[in-house]
Amino acid sequence: MMKLKKYIIPAALIIVSAGIIGCETTANKAFVTQESQVQLRSIQTRAFDTTDKKKMMQNVISTMQDLDFVIDKADLTLGSVTGTKYLGQSTVAMTVTVRARGEKQLLVRANAQFGTESVADPGTYQDFFNALGKSMFLTAQEVD
């Protein structure tokens, strides 16, 4: 009987600790990115030759509305716009941020999420920036 106890306690400890490690890995899942950080940034970012932040944000909003997004939040000071779009059974969430780049340009970054998947496809973001550029009468320029 005593011999058996000697094995039960370490075995139980192993099971419990395995459980704890298991929990930790699911939290880590939320921070995993597929592309390299630099690559993703350049896919999601464009520069525009304007300094009119408010006008840019109004155009970001109207472009998102053209794409069937409902705007959930917007903040002029932070330069952020967040919206949700329903697509069949899925939800697309997108945040767009606008900030100054030097004295003559604005940087626009879009982050889209399809369900629980982060969108990393360059073509999808290109579609958005094309539409945004058209509404601003400006060209979306790639940045390094």
Task: Summarize as ranges the residues that interact with other proteins (CB under 8 A).
Answer: 54, 57-58, 61-62, 65-77, 83-92, 94, 112, 114-117, 119, 121, 123-125, 127-128, 130-131
- Nearer residue to other proteins within complex by CB, 115 or 142: 115
CB of 9 to other proteins, least distance (A): 37
List Cα–Cα distances, 64 to 24, 39, 92, 103, 132, in angstroms. Answer: 36, 24, 11, 26, 9
CB of 108 to other proteins, least distance (A): 13
CB of 11 to other proteins, least distance (A): 32
Instruction: Fill in the DSSP letter of residue 137.
Output: T
Residue in the block written with tokens 């959930």? 72
